[in-house]
Structure 1
Amino acid sequence: MPAYITAMGRFLPGEPVPNEEIEDYIGSVGQASSGLREQILENCGIKTRHYAIDKQHKTLFSNTDMAVEAIRQAVDRSDITLDDIDLISAATAVPDLVAPGIASSIHGALGSPPCEIVTTHGICSSGMMALKNAYLQVAAGEKKNAVASASELASRFMKSERFEGVERVSDDGAIAMEMAFLRYMLSDGAGAAVVQDRPAADGVSLRIDWISLTSYANTEDACMYMGSADNSAELTWWDYPSAAAAAGAGALALRQNLGLLPHLVRIGVKEYQRLLDEGRFDPDELTWFPVHYSSERMKTMVLKEVERKKVRGPSVEKWYSNLPRVGNMGSASIYVILEEMLSEGLVSPGDKLLVMVPESGRFAVSFAHLTAVRAGEV
């Protein structure tokens, strides 16, 4: 049975925050860390982003709040109501609560009738995990009306006071590059999709042809991680005598090993080639290549690797990203990208989209093939 994305919603908190105001919201951590800002921002290409905290570091919208707002918008744009939801499939990297899962929090805040819930946990790929769960349940006939969401609230754990007392690496109090880098890269926001067993009566729907998620953790070390000071499974933040001790050691800081990022590029191109070799798609037939990537530099690296490996990649004009305008929202980014494309009328019936979401966690790559359709033209 086919499954269709019939409506999408998004929630971007507050007004767009330009680069020069970043530290007004998240504060500064050492002169050296702030000095890296221009270099980091030049490489990533982000001009504005959104924060769910204010300049006094007060949280204005929780992770759950943002997901709920995105779901409400998606449902309002569909032909169902909250009462019709059979499944809530929700993703995030860092939920509001350690337990229960964020899907429980979202269901409670929505106040919709009893239904099945699923929480997918990870980093960027968790959003695709949530969408695939909704897709498969609808395609299997288990559910008729599902919602998938992804939300991230990075600013809450990037604000300067979170680094007070953390072991530093220089006399001016600067934190390690692997922590400082992400403070200028990540943004807040949420996206949601209504997935149904039929296309929308009006407008364009996206038929989900397939979704592929592949982990390479069997051969790769973690590149992005949180919960350990040194990427050790033997000494996690739970193993310290207290949460304060874990925080002081830096075990509660999100880190990224920049030296491993080229591995993600190679793995992403390798996975693309694998699917191409299996005949899962034809690059020449693609209308759009919506891609979540963390920086414009990463895009350049991918294009160079495609050229080096002589891979039949989508032409550059088919790539689509809104990274410069909305920033990097991790798992929520691809939802916000697709919502924007639909809202702006960029997708027409018959268009084929190949969606790509790489994750640098312990390296995973997700792809989805979507076909734009109208009711009666399926």
Structure 2
Amino acid sequence: MSAYITATGRYLPGDPVPNDEIEDYIGKAGLASADLREMILGNSGIKTRHYAIDKNQQTVMSNAAMAAQAVRAAVARAGLGPDEVEMLAAATTMPDLLGPGHASMIHGELGYAPMEVMTAHGICSSGMMALKDAYLQVAIGEKRNAVAVASEFASRGFKSSRYAEMKSVIEEGTLPMETAFLRYMLSDGAGAAVLRSEPEPGKISLRIDWISLTSYANTEQACMYLGSNDNACTKSWGDYPTTTAAAHDGALAIRQKLSLLPHLVEVGIQEYQKLVAAGKFDPEKVTWYPVHYSSERMKELMIGEFKRRDITRGEMVNWYSNLTRVGNIGSASIYIILDEMLSEGLIKEGDTLVCMVPESGRFIISFMHLTAVAADRV
């Protein structure tokens, strides 16, 4: 049996926020200079992003509510009723609650009939984890349909008030670069996909040929992390006597160990080469490369490594990204990319797509191979 993405949906909160308005929403933390902000934004290439907080740093919409909106859009396009969805697989980096699971909260927000749910927790690759679970359930005939959704609410963690108790801010008036960097990089939003065992009549569906997820956590300590103040992660936020003590020590600030990012590029291309060598796909026959990456600088590093290794499709001219327009929405990014491509009619029957989602958390590399099909040709 096969599984097909027959409909997609996305939700981006509020109007696009340009670079010069970022701090109107998240405020200033420490003495981060305008020069630092411009350097980070210049490397990222991001021009606008979306926030689910307002200029008073108040939540406008919860993470679960954004996910529910994306699900509703996808389910409506699929022509399914609220009582016909058989499974919900959900992913996020920072859910609204430590428990229950994100999928349960989204299901409650939707109000759909009883169904199976699963929550994938992680960073960028968690969206692909949820999608793979839904894909396998449909492909083996366990479910006739499933919805996969990924959502992120990063801005809530970047509000200036979050850093008021940090020792470095109190004593030195500074925010560590590994934290300041992410404040200008991450965005909010949600994307969803409906999977069914048959393609949708009268339109293009995406057959999922395979999904590959590989962890390289054995090769390095954490690169992007939340809940500790150093990337060895030997002391968790829960090990402090109080959450105030954890916040003071900087354990509640999300961080990125920037010096490790080149390693992510290396293992990502290593995994790409392994898949090609195994005959999983022919790079010369790929129509599109929908790729999630954190910055335009990261794309430059990846293309440079392709060239260094003398890989034929090193230029990958058919990359598709919406990073500059919607920002880095982590686990939701690949869903939103595919929704854009389908909505804009960029994908034609017979096209093949290789989606790539590298995760810097502790290095997970995800690939997905899709084939665009029409129901009357299957």
Secondary structure of 1:91's partner?
Answer: strand
Deviation at 1:377, TM superposition (A): 1.1
- Confirm whether residue 222 of structure 1 aligns to residue 235 of structure 2: no
Aligned mates of 2:193, 2:310 — CA distance in 1: 35
Measure, in 2, the Cα distance between the counterparts of 1:314 and 1:349: 25
**Identical-residue share of aligned pairs (%):** 62
Aligned in 2, Cα 1:313/1:170: closer, same or farther, shift over 3 Å?
farther
Aligned with 1:214: secondary structure? Answer: strand
Spell out the pairing of 1:200-349 with structure 2 (5 A cutoff).
200-313=200-313, 315-349=315-349
Question: 4+ residue stretches of structure 1 with deviation over 4 A?
Answer: 169-172
CA distance in 2, matches of 1:133, 1:112: 20
Residue 7 of structure 1 pairs with residue 41 of structure 2: no
Tell me, in whole angstroms, the C-alpha distance in 1 between the residues paired with 2:170 and 2:266: 33
2: CA distance, partners of 1:73 / 1:85 = 13
By how many angstroms is 1:221 displaced?
Answer: 1.3
SS in 1 for 2:377: coil
- Quote the offset at 1:231 in angstroms: 2.6
Letter of the 2:98 counterpart:
V
CA offset digits 1:201-258 (Å, max 9, x no partner): 1211100000000000112211000000113443100000001111111111100000
Aligned counterparts of 2:115 and 2:179: Cα–Cα separation in 1? 39
Where do 5+ consecutive residues of structure 2 fail to align? Answer: none
Shift of 1:173: 1.0
Could you say which residue in structure 2 is the equivalent of 1:74? 74
Q: Which residue is equivalent to 2:17?
A: 17
- Contact 2:306–2:315 under 8 Å retained in 1: no
- Specify whether residues 314 and 81 from structure 1 end up closer, same or farther in structure 2 by C-alpha distance, changes over 3 A only: farther
Q: Which SS does the other structure have where 1:60 is aligned?
A: coil
Q: Provide the aligned length of Structure 1 versus Structure 2.
A: 378
Counterpart CA distance in 2 for 1:21 and 1:271 is: 38
Residues 314 and 7 (structure 1 numbering): CA distance in 2 closer, same or farther, change over 3 Å?
A: farther
Look up the SS of the partner of 1:112 in the other structure. Answer: coil
Partners of 1:215 and 1:111 in 2: how far apart?
Answer: 35
Give the match for residue 111 of structure 1.
Answer: 111
**Matching of residues 150-169 of structure 1 within 5 Å:** 150-168=150-168
TM-score, normalised via structure 1 length: 0.98
Query: What SS does the corresponding residue of 1:82 show, helix, strand or coil?
Result: coil
Distance 2:49 2:348 in 1: 28
What is the rounded CA distance, in whole Å, between the counterparts of 1:42 and 1:281 in structure 2? Answer: 34
Q: Distance in 1 between matches of 2:321 and 2:43?
A: 16
Q: Deviations over 1:188-211 (max 9, x none)?
A: 000000000010112111000000
Distance 2:313 2:178 in 1: 31
1:6–1:194 contact (8 Å) kept in structure 2: yes
Shift of 1:317: 2.3
- Structure 1 counterpart of 2:322, which letter? N
Deviations 1:257-280 (A, max 9, x none): 000000000010000000000010
Deviations 1:303-360 (A, max 9, x none): 0000101123364321000000000000000100000000000001100000000000
In structure 2, distance between residues paired with 1:72 and 1:50: 19
Look up the match of 1:32: 32
Say whether the 8 Å CA contact 1:200–1:374 is kept in structure 2.
yes
TM-score, normalised with respect to structure 2 = 0.98
Task: Give, in angstroms, the shift of residue 128 of structure 1.
Answer: 0.2
